[in-house]
Amino acid sequence: MNDEASGSTPILQMRDIRKAYGPVRVLEDVNLELSTGEVRCLAGENGSGKSTLIKILSGVVSADAGQVSLNGRQLGNDPMGAITAGLSVIYQDFSLFPNLSVWENIGFLTSVTSADVLHKRSARRRLAIDTLKRMQVEIDPDTPVELLPVASKQLVAIARALANRARIIVMDEPTTALTRSEVAHLLEIVGALKKEGVSFLFVSHKIEEVFAVCDTVTVLRDGSVVVEGPIGEFDTERLVEAMTGRSVDSQRLPREEGAVQRPFLAASGLGRRGNFVDVDLELRPGEIVSVVGLLGSGRTELAQTLFGYMKPDAGRIEIDGETVTFKSQHDAIERGIAYVPEDRLTEGLFLNQSIRDNITVSSLEKSTHFGIVSAASLLQRARDAVKNLRIKTPDVTPAVATLSGGNQQRVVLARWMEIDPRLLILNGPTVGVDVGSKREIHELLVSLSRSGTAVMVVTDDIAEAIALSDRILVMVRGRITAGFDAATVDEDTLYNEVIREDRT
Amino acid sequence: MNALARIFATPQGIVFLVAVLFAVVLGLLNPAFFTPSTLIDLARNGLVTGIFAMGVMMVLASGGIDVSHTAIGAFAMYATMKIVLGIDLDLPIIAYFVIAAAIGAGLGLVNGLLIGGLGLNTLIVTLGTLSFFRGALLTFLGTTYITSVPREVINFSRTILIRIENAVGQMVSLPASFLVLVAVTIALAIIMNFTLFGRKVYAIGGSEEAAQRIGIRIKRVKVLIYVIAGAIAGLAGMTHVTLSRMANPFDLVGMELNVIAAVVLGGARITGGHGTVLGTLLGVFVITMINTTLLMAGVPSYWQKFVIGCLIIVGTGLPIVFDRLAKHRQRMARPLEA
């Protein structure tokens, strides 16, 4: 793989890029090259300067110093210039038009770059169909994009770049929202396009994908390139160490085993039409239970049912031995259950509001006396939470949107910890979170559980389940098919169990 | 049943169905309703609303909202009359429309620069300009009715496309001004569906950030949207003069919510990205029919507001309720299996 990459002249060169926002230096003398058909991983923790580098590359932000050249031609800070030169950025949210059809989305970029005046319906539609065919993807070109599943949207975004004859595709964390089999499909497509001479700059947190797809790696830390080279020179430990600046033990987190306690919540025969069936499960104080399953396995619906957001059709839920029916999530919260949703951005946080308000919004009554909310008390509680959860921010007044992914996730955690939950349910707690923050969030959850909170984690990240949990339940097509002791199970066994139905 | 359910699942379907029901009831009460003359009546009564609605539809499709269009229409109509009477030249009628459209485009440019250029909120800006344009009209141009409109306008308003005798022996006629609506509708249909500009309007309505990222110059597109919407409002204002044969500066303002209601009933979403020319025509047709027929049936005029209010709530709310019910029924029909 490396042979293809080396030797050819670079199609993209970024030289001595510098950028500062006020007194904060975000990038310092960053160099990056990309050859034809090369897949390079841009690795780094949140806040390492990856996003800024991509913005400079795409012309959205101008660098203070340094040059970007594509095919030997220098690029200014103009998004159109970069796009016409053959560079396409696929953002995490894909930046598609939900109201328009698949083909129109795919063709739109081409229409814009060729400065069309008229809407060339049939030509663009054919272009879209041809591009999808070239990618060997089957998506109905006439469906509105809003009706597509996430994985297909991702593919439409790639098709749009290809339709515009992109020579370089920058993908910002492309696999965050995809399941394992979808990721595998995506990586296949990347491999095929690479053979056609398309170069990729791949931004990812997921170490295994980096090894699966990339030829070369550039690691950014605190705004500078710390190490760079062919992927063959790296192994997981070296890469993680380069990213975080410390060696991280990727194994199970150490913990004390406590005495087994009476379950806080017990579900028996729980079922909901079309989602899950016959679920028995016990969640005990001082224990972390992971429910591992693919997207669509019913894992999210189960979590939401335990939180009272959906109603079960069969079975019952007991809390402290007493059967309960939740009319809404409000009842569940009253019983001491907290739920951290999968998509913290859309479901969990008020992005434009301050960190303080986000942390205290669910527990205002704690600071309320005789119907009046004490601002001083809110401030104090928010500051304590920021300290306890090590949220990186100068103060609690900036908007949550200004924080990195890992720190945003901690704000959600902080909010729920403020209501002193007896059961904390987390859905994909470290999705879109970098390696270092991930570890810290895991440590937080372990210490929370040791203090007597029951914790349930819903995830498809097998390494996370093993590192974090005491007990692992595997969910396949709505049924709990296996249970493991996290201390003894290995990744392969668990993985094979999770994808059991996916292979047939 | 299935087909009926599908009709109920879209706002336009419900609006259309309610309109049909409405017509049937009225037809039973008043047999004169089912005559061609009613259709002509409706076409005439919905004319100005329909022209305004076209501009508003485009703004809504882009994710914005424009409440200032009636003020633009009134300003353009009165200013055109002032100018033409002032220079005292014999101009062909088409020149009147060109002047009115140009004035409307100029006022639309003010909206466009504030919204596209400065990036201000569309509702706030157009609320401001609604008051601003109207105030400017009444303060600086005058408050008196212009009853002595030029000969060309009178001639044009007497040009009749169709004339029919209705049930009670009165003559009902469709004036040539109807052609303005036809022209605007065709022009807008072409702009929205066959030019890249039109597709950019939908794209911006779908996701502004995505549009920016693929290199669409949002500011320019937005400015142009409001300029075109302004020009259309100017044409609506001029059309109003040709119908009433006088220029009353107090006219038009006040009907903006009616226009927006028609556009929304026609399927444009207030959140942007959706809206069609045909749907808008349907919305205008329904609103006009309700207004006109209630009047014909002798129902007090404040009932019109009530009925239209109900229609908006039902037309936009019922599809959501039906959608939810259908999903629930679908889920419950499945066996207790995952």
pLDDT tier for residue A84 given thresholds of 50, 70 and 90: confident
Query: In chain A, which residue's Cα lies nearest the Cα of B192?
Result: A119
pLDDT tier for residue A141 given thresholds of 50, 70 and 90: very high
CA distance B265 to B261: 6
Task: Test B336 with A275 for CB contact under 8 angstroms.
Answer: no
CA distance A423 to A340: 11
CA distance A444 to A284: 18
CA–CA min distance A104, chain B (Å): 9
- Whether B114 has a pLDDT exceeding 70, the answer reads yes
- Whether B197 has a pLDDT exceeding 60, the answer reads yes
pLDDT in tens, A349-378: 888 889 999 888 888 888 888 888 888 888
Asked which of A112-116, B222-226, B298-302 is least confident by mean pLDDT, the reply is B298-302
Which chain A residues contact residue B213 at CB under 8 A? 60, 79, 89, 91, 95
- Whether A397 has a pLDDT exceeding 80, the answer reads yes
What pLDDT does A268 receive?
93
Structural contact between residues A350 and A400, judged by C-beta atoms closer than 8 angstroms: yes
- Whether B108 has a pLDDT exceeding 50, the answer reads yes
What pLDDT does A176 receive?
67
Task: Test A109 with B215 for CB contact under 8 angstroms.
Answer: yes
Which chain A residues contact residue B214 at CB under 8 A? 83, 95, 108-109, 112, 160
Domains of chain A in start order, with CATH, are 2-244 (3.40.50.300), 263-336+423-432+451-504 (3.40.50.300), 347-420 (no CATH)
Query: In chain B, which residue's Cα lies nearest the Cα of A121?
Result: B194
Q: How far lies A150's CA from each of A174, A175, A372, A492, in Å?
A: 11, 10, 44, 27
Query: In chain B, which residue's Cα lies nearest the Cα of A79?
Result: B215
- Whether A502 has a pLDDT exceeding 50, the answer reads no
Half-sphere exposure of A139 (CA within 13 A, CB side): 32
B214, B331, B332: which to substitute to probe chain A, counting the most A Cβ within 10 Å?
A: B214
Which chain B residues contact residue A111 at CB under 8 A? 196, 199
CA distance B194 to B200: 11
Type of residue numbered A140: D
Type of residue numbered A207: I
Which chain A residues contact residue B197 at CB under 8 A? 117
**What is the distance in angstroms between the CA of the first residue and the CA of the last residue of chain B?**
29
CA–CA min distance A67, chain B (Å): 21
CA distance A90 to A96: 10
For residues A319 and B269, which has the higher predicted lDDT (pLDDT)?
A319
Which chain A residues contact residue B331 at CB under 8 A? 273-274
What pLDDT does A16 receive?
92
- Whether B15 has a pLDDT exceeding 50, the answer reads yes
For residues B171 and A316, which has the higher predicted lDDT (pLDDT)?
A316
Strands A471-476 and A479-485 turn out to be: antiparallel
CA distance B142 to A365: 59
Task: Test B213 with A79 for CB contact under 8 angstroms.
Answer: yes
- Whether B289 has a pLDDT exceeding 90, the answer reads no
- Whether A2 has a pLDDT exceeding 50, the answer reads no
Q: How far lies A161's CA from each of A135, A143, A198, A204, A364, in Å?
A: 12, 19, 11, 19, 47
pLDDT tier for residue A503 given thresholds of 50, 70 and 90: very low
CA–CA min distance A127, chain B (Å): 16
- Whether A253 has a pLDDT exceeding 50, the answer reads yes
Which chain B residues contact residue A95 at CB under 8 A? 207, 209-210, 213-214
- Whether B134 has a pLDDT exceeding 90, the answer reads yes
Asked which of A12-16, A72-76, A333-337, A340-344 is least confident by mean pLDDT, the reply is A340-344
Task: Test B215 with A277 for CB contact under 8 angstroms.
Answer: no
What pLDDT does B337 receive?
65
Most confident range (mean pLDDT) of A69-83, B215-229, B274-288 is: B215-229
A123 touches chain B (CB under 8 A): no
Which chain B residues contact residue A117 at CB under 8 A? 195-197
pLDDT in tens, B16-63: 787 788 778 877 877 777 778 888 888 899 999 999 999 999 999 999
- For B209, which of A95, A117, A271 is closest by C-beta distance? A95
Query: In chain A, which residue's Cα lies nearest the Cα of B275?
Result: A99
Write the DSSP assignment of A444-499 as a string of letters. Answer: HHHHHHHTT-EEEEEES-HHHHHHH-SEEEEEETTEEEEEEETTT--HHHHHHHHT
A51 touches chain B (CB under 8 A): no
A275 touches chain B (CB under 8 A): yes
What pLDDT does A346 receive?
55
CA–CA min distance A115, chain B (Å): 9
Strands A39-43 and A216-221 turn out to be: parallel
CA distance A205 to A462: 15
Which chain A residues contact residue B335 at CB under 8 A? 273
Which chain A residues contact residue B224 at CB under 8 A? none
Interface of B with A (CB under 8 A): 193-199, 202-203, 205-207, 209-216, 272-274, 331-332, 334-338
Which chain B residues contact residue A80 at CB under 8 A? 215
SS3 content of chain B, % helix, strand, coil (to 5): 75, 5, 20
Which chain B residues contact residue A79 at CB under 8 A? 212-213, 215
Percent of chain A with pLDDT strictly greater than 70:
92
Task: Test A97 with B202 for CB contact under 8 angstroms.
Answer: yes
- Whether B5 has a pLDDT exceeding 70, the answer reads no
CB-neighbour burial class of residue B70 (10 A; exposed 0-12, middle 13-18, buried 19+): buried
- Whether A6 has a pLDDT exceeding 50, the answer reads no
For the residues A468-485, what does the mean pLDDT come to?
91
The position carrying tokens 């400015």 is: B223
Most confident range (mean pLDDT) of A306-315, A333-342, B297-306 is: A306-315
- What integer best gives the mean pLDDT of chain A? 85
Render the burial of A355-373: b for 16+ CB within 10 Å, e for the rest.
Answer: bbbbbbeebeeebeeeeee
User: Which CATH number applies to B35-326: 3.40.50, 1.10.20, 1.10.3470, 1.10.8?
Assistant: 1.10.3470
- For B199, which of A95, A104, A478 is closest by C-beta distance? A104
What pLDDT does A22 receive?
66
Task: Test A273 with B334 for CB contact under 8 angstroms.
Answer: yes
What pLDDT does A390 receive?
82
For residues A144 and A440, which has the higher predicted lDDT (pLDDT)?
A144
Task: Test B273 with A98 for CB contact under 8 angstroms.
Answer: yes
- Whether B105 has a pLDDT exceeding 90, the answer reads yes
Q: Which phi and psi angles does A372 have, rounded to 5°?
A: -115, 130
pLDDT in tens, A210-237: 888 899 999 988 788 988 999 888 887 7
- For A119, which of B198, B212, B272 is closest by C-beta distance? B198
Which chain B residues contact residue A121 at CB under 8 A? 194
- Whether A3 has a pLDDT exceeding 70, the answer reads no
Our measurement of the distance from residue A351's CA atom to the centroid of its chain's CA atoms, rounded to an integer in Å, reads 17
What pLDDT does A352 receive?
85
For the residues A76-88, what does the mean pLDDT come to?
83
A116 touches chain B (CB under 8 A): yes
pLDDT in tens, A403-422: 877 788 888 888 888 888 99
Task: Test B196 with A79 for CB contact under 8 angstroms.
Answer: no
What pLDDT does B16 receive?
77
Q: What is the token pair recorded at A265?
A: 């919540």
Residue A32 in 3-state DSSP?
A: strand
A314 touches chain B (CB under 8 A): yes
Which chain B residues contact residue A113 at CB under 8 A? 215
- What integer best gives the mean pLDDT of chain B? 88
What pLDDT does B294 receive?
76
pLDDT in tens, A44-67: 776 678 888 988 888 888 889 898
Beta bridge partners of A116: none
Task: Test B203 with A277 for CB contact under 8 angstroms.
Answer: no
Task: Test B215 with A80 for CB contact under 8 angstroms.
Answer: yes
CA–CA min distance A189, chain B (Å): 22
CA–CA min distance A326, chain B (Å): 18
